[in-house]
Amino acid sequence: MRTDEFDFALPDGLIAQHPPERRGASRLLCVNDGILEDRQFVDLLQKVKQGDVLVLNDTRVIKARLFGIKRSGGKIEVLVERVLNDHEVLAQVRASKSPVAGSYLLLASELSVEVLGREGEFFHLRFCSEESVLELLERFGRLPLPPYITHAAEDEDEERYQTVFSRASGAVAAPTAGLHFDDAMLQALTDKGVKIAYVTLHVGAGTFQPVRAEFLSEHAMHSECYEIPQATVDAIEEAHSIGARVIAVGTTSLRALESAAAAGELKAGSGETRIFITPGYRFRVVDVLLTNFHLPKSTLLMLVSAFGGMDEMRAAYRHAVEQQYRFFSYGDAMLIEKNSR
């Protein structure tokens, strides 16, 4: 398939720059085999059924962006992609000239960081401190908002660019479908008999990268870490045994589940995934997907097109633009039933 089959025109004014006034005060476009229904996010309660399993990604966004200088005095920007251990990370480094192995960076005026080498597009860095990387990032780093959000991170973003159920630090981008939920909604879902389950997938910065190859087959996915608890596997197996549904909250939850079921049966455990879901993929675990609206030519738009159908997603996105839904991380949501064809 050609990448330009997943392009669409989006007015800049529809890109949400700030979250809604309160969590859950968003619109919800429901898509079921080509039938479109304009609802509000709170109407999700009417769309779920007793016995369904709602799967949330409990990753937590780290303050992954740091600014500093090289020993030569040149300015640099570092965006941590992955924390490897207490002192080492993989990171993107923006500088007029790339730093070389063995050189040192000074970040946030006081953090000495050694460049150990490169791994593809990322730099392998070591923080020369007795404190752990996560502690240092929390103290000196800045929240890494997506590139299409034009303002620097503010106090509002510190709270609203995290889910209320975030637990495991390690993501550099939020699992944005989860941002719609507040504690009251989660309790209401539980009261209705919906089982809440969790996975962890640490979202990387590559989630914002458009596919630049002409053909999908030429695109190389970035790698992300995930973990599936046994309790989540048990909940999913029970739901399917009684004819209930598995509802993935976000493409990250879906990718974690489908990666863990790549051999045919869903297994608990941890691993790394480069799964690239495109039209023609056979879904093994997820029945319904709750997600935000995605970037043109992105791997996430390709994923939802595989899940909901190419023609159906084209029509849904045209409708969303016409009806002025809010797009991307702070935007509105879609509830997509898996295409039956």
- Model pLDDT, residue 222: 86
Residues 40 and 160 in one domain: yes
The pLDDT, as a whole number, for residue 72 is 80
Flag whether 147 is in a domain: no
Count CB-CB contacts under 10 A for residue 143. Answer: 18
* pLDDT tops 80 at residue 208: no
Calculate mean pLDDT across residues 99-127.
95
Domain-ending residue, one of 115, 140, 165: 140
Domain range for residue 89?
Answer: 65-140
Range in 40-44, 211-215, 330-334 the model is least confident about: 211-215
What's the confidence (pLDDT) of residue 20?
A: 96
User: Do the beta carbons of residue 133 and residue 172 sit within 8 Å?
Assistant: no
| Collapsed DSSP state (helix, strand, coil) of residue 2 | strand
How many Å apart are CA 181 and CA 178, to the nearest integer? 6
CATH code of the domain in which 127 resides: 2.40.10.240
Reported as a pLDDT band with limits 50, 70 and 90, residue 235 is very high
Report how many domains make up the chain.
2
Residue 109 lies in a domain: yes
Q: Are residues 56 and 69 in the same domain?
A: no
C-alpha–C-alpha distance, residues 290 and 256, integer Å: 15
pTM: 0.95
Digit-coded pLDDT (tens) for 40-74: 999 999 999 999 999 999 999 999 999 999 888 88
Nearest-angstrom CA–CA distance, 153 and 67: 14
Residue 182 and residue 330 share a domain: yes
Q: Does residue 145 form part of some domain?
A: no
Structure tokens at 329: 């991380």
* CATH number, domain containing residue 182: 3.40.1780.10
What average pLDDT does range 194-210 have in this prediction? Answer: 90
- Tell me the per-residue pLDDT of 118-153, one tens digit each, with 9 for 90 and over: 998 899 999 999 999 999 999 999 999 999 999 999
Q: What is the mean pLDDT of residues 91-114?
A: 94
Q: Which of 140, 174, 198 is the last residue of a domain?
A: 140
What is the Cα–Cα distance from 50 to 130, expressed in whole angstroms?
50
Mean pLDDT for the stretch of residues 159-171:
97
Residue 232 has pLDDT above 90, yes or no: yes
- In sign, the C-alpha dihedral spanning 234, 237, 243, 245 is positive
Q: Are 229 and 316 in contact (CB under 8 A)?
A: no
Q: Please give the Cα distance from 57 to 166 (Å, whole number).
A: 8
- Given the structure tokens 């209930």, which residue do they identify? 244
Asked if residues 180 and 41 have their Cβ atoms less than 8 Å apart, the reply is yes
